[in-house]
């Protein structure tokens, strides 16, 4: 079978969770005897590029660094995407497996694949869940977790507030009926964006319905995502669950509790992006609220490369100033992740946005490190509160502080009890097996259709 994977970014310039997932999946599909390819747009590049990554041929095609409003909102195909259409026509894969919907990789590209008779699988790695959440975070007004129920007025106000518009003005513009919004949205610049937002969000709902007809199978990584899609009135008969797993070839668990019980002061870890949606600010605030007589260390590790990360990192250091329990360490390479996680007694995943994973949480559990995490998204599915970890309301600094303090004060009654209940974690081998079974179902369907 010939399988083409398409996603919004790829190696070498991008190495996030989706890229790791796709590259690991490609290795396993090749090992199973399939022909595997990867394609990804690249904003601002000159012409196409072809190279190999870990033995998989990769095709990169250019899209504008500054797309027009019509291109960004999907009303017309992005310039350069026709090169991807041509690549598909020449390659003629049996399956196009899409992992993200972005400018240059959206409905226009799915339609092109469908015209060529290519079967399509779409895996939802991001909280946008296709075109349900325009913000792509399921975080309402950048302040609280969203239930995912999309409507033009609600989502338009959220988008406009996220772009800096005052709340009253955003809510007023969000009241515009889609028909009026469409007429006013032709105005140039920010005015057109503001007036046209409800119409644009209404169009997203239409796109989502079309998406459900274009794609043969949609894959979700957790039940929460399936429930959100269903709650928006969309069909779920061609949605399958393939839970996230880990890619490390060998994972060495911590010694049994009987041999190595958790001792005070405990080591609390945060490992991930230095980003507000990850709840790292709330974590440092929570640590500062734990009474000083309770000893522990909280180690913050994550990349500090771009300006937004640097600003937040400096803010975290100011919050922790004078509290020697909070330390900041360099980011971690992929190869170092298992050993670093095993060195923590508990890992904190205090995200404020919908998490499809996060992969680091699964990696921690695989080595025997339990979690203190937010009660949302997949975190609420992999952690059973006070059984194999602790769940707290997202963004609740007081609840998070109490959980940290309790674990630090009584590790035997919390951390060791949670450790004893940690089960096995899925591997990317199991994920690949599930995809191979799904691809086989596509083969059967195509044979029946012909």
The enclosing domain of 370 has a CATH number of 3.40.50.2000
In this structure, the answer to whether residues 271 and 407 fall within a common structural domain is yes
- pLDDT for residue 450 is more than 50: no
Q: What is the DSSP string of 95-155?
A: EEEE---BTTBSHHHHHHHHHTT-EEEEE--STTTTTT-SSSS-EETTTEE------HHHH
Q: For the segment 197-240, what is each residue's pLDDT rounded down to a tens digit?
A: 999 999 999 999 999 999 999 999 999 999 999 999 999 999 99
In this structure, the answer to whether residues 282 and 388 fall within a common structural domain is yes
- pLDDT for residue 16 is more than 90: no
Residue 257 falls within a domain, yes or no? no
Q: What pLDDT was estimated at residue 448?
A: 47
The backbone torsions φ and ψ at residue 257, rounded to the nearest 5 degrees and listed phi first, read -60, -35
Contact 198, 205 (CB under 8 A): no
- pLDDT for residue 377 is more than 50: yes
Helix ranges (H only) for 292-427 are: 307-319, 337-343, 359-367, 379-382, 397-409, 415-419
In this structure, the answer to whether residues 434 and 351 fall within a common structural domain is no
CA 202 distance to own-chain centroid: 24
In this structure, the answer to whether residues 77 and 102 fall within a common structural domain is yes
Q: Which residues contact 448 (CB under 8 A, 6 or more apart)?
A: none
In this structure, the answer to whether residues 292 and 385 fall within a common structural domain is yes
In this structure, the answer to whether residues 65 and 117 fall within a common structural domain is yes
Q: For the segment 301-357, what is each residue's pLDDT rounded down to a tens digit?
A: 999 989 999 999 999 999 999 999 999 999 998 889 999 999 999 999 999 999 988
Confidence of residue 422 (pLDDT cuts 50, 70, 90): very high
Residue 113 falls within a domain, yes or no? yes
Cα Rg of the chain (Å, integer): 23
Helix (H, G, I), strand (E, B) or coil at 214: helix
Q: How far apart are CA 278 and CA 355, in angstroms?
A: 9
The backbone torsions φ and ψ at residue 332, rounded to the nearest 5 degrees and listed phi first, read -115, 140
Query: Can you read off the two tokens belonging to residue 57?
Result: 């041929």
Confidence of residue 446 (pLDDT cuts 50, 70, 90): low
Confidence of residue 13 (pLDDT cuts 50, 70, 90): confident
Share of the chain above pLDDT 70, in %: 98
In this structure, the answer to whether residues 22 and 106 fall within a common structural domain is yes
**Number of domains into which the chain is organized:** 2
Residue 109 falls within a domain, yes or no? yes
Q: What pLDDT was estimated at residue 73?
A: 86
CA-based nearest residue to 224, from 303, 129, 305: 129
CA-based nearest residue to 431, from 130, 6, 20, 16: 20
* Average confidence (pLDDT) over 275-287: 96
In this structure, the answer to whether residues 356 and 316 fall within a common structural domain is yes
In this structure, the answer to whether residues 19 and 53 fall within a common structural domain is yes
Q: How far apart are CA 145 and CA 259, in angstroms?
A: 41
- Run of H or E residues at 192: helix 189-195
In this structure, the answer to whether residues 340 and 438 fall within a common structural domain is no
Q: How far apart are CA 248 and CA 176, in angstroms?
A: 50
Residue-range definition of the domain harbouring residue 397: 266-419
- Roughly how many angstroms between the first and final C-alpha of the chain, as a whole number? 17
């Amino acid at each position: 079978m010939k399988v083409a994977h398409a996603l919004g970014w790829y190696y070498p310039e991008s190495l996030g969770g989706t890229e790791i997932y796709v590259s690991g999946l490609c290795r396993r599909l090749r090992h199973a005897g399939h022909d595997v390819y990867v394609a990804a747009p690249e904003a601002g590049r000159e012409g196409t590029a072809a190279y190999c990554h870990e033995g998989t041929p990769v095709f990169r095609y250019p899209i504008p660094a500054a797309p027009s409003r019509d291109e960004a909102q999907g009303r017309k195909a992005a310039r350069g995407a026709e090169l991807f259409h041509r690549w598909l026509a020449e390659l003629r894969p049996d399956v196009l497996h899409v992992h993200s919907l972005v400018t240059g990789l959206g409905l226009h590209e799915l339609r092109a694949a469908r015209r060529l008779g290519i079967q399509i699988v779409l895996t939802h790695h991001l909280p946008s869940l296709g075109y349900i959440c325009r913000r792509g975070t399921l975080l309402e007004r950048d302040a609280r977790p969203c239930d995912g129920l999309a409507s033009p007025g609600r989502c338009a106000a959220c988008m406009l507030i996220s772009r800096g518009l005052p709340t009253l003005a955003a809510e007023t513009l969000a009241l515009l009926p889609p028909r009026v919004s469409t007429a006013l949205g032709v105005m140039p610049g920010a005015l057109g964006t503001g007036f046209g937002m409800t119409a644009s969000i209404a169009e997203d709902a239409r796109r989502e319905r079309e998406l459900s007809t274009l794609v043969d199978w949609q894959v979700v990584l957790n039940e929460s995502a399936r429930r959100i899609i269903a709650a928006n009135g969309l069909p779920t008969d061609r949605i399958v669950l393939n839970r996230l797993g880990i890619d490390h070839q060998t994972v060495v668990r911590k010694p049994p509790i009987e041999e190595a019980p958790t001792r005070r002061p405990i080591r609390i870890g945060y490992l991930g992006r230095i980003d507000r949606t990850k709840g790292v600010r709330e974590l440092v605030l929570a640590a500062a609220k734990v009474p000083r007589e309770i000893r522990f260390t909280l180690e913050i590790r994550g990349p500090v490369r771009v300006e937004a990360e640097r600003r937040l990192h400096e803010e975290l250091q100011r919050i922790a100033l004078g509290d020697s329990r909070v330390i900041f360490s360099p980011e971690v390479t992929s190869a170092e992740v298992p050993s670093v996680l095993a060195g923590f007694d508990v890992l904190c995943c205090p995200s404020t946005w919908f998490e499809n994973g996060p992969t680091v949480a699964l990696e921690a559990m695989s080595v025997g490190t339990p979690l203190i995490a937010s009660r949302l998204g997949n975190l609420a599915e992999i952690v059973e509160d006070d059984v194999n970890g602790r769940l707290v309301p997202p963004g609740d600094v007081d609840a998070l502080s109490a959980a940290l303090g309790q674990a630090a004060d009584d590790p035997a009654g919390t951390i060791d009890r949670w450790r004893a209940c940690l089960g096995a974690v899925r591997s990317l081998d199991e994920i690949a097996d599930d995809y191979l079974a799904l691809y086989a179902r596509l083969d059967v369907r195509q044979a029946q259709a012909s």
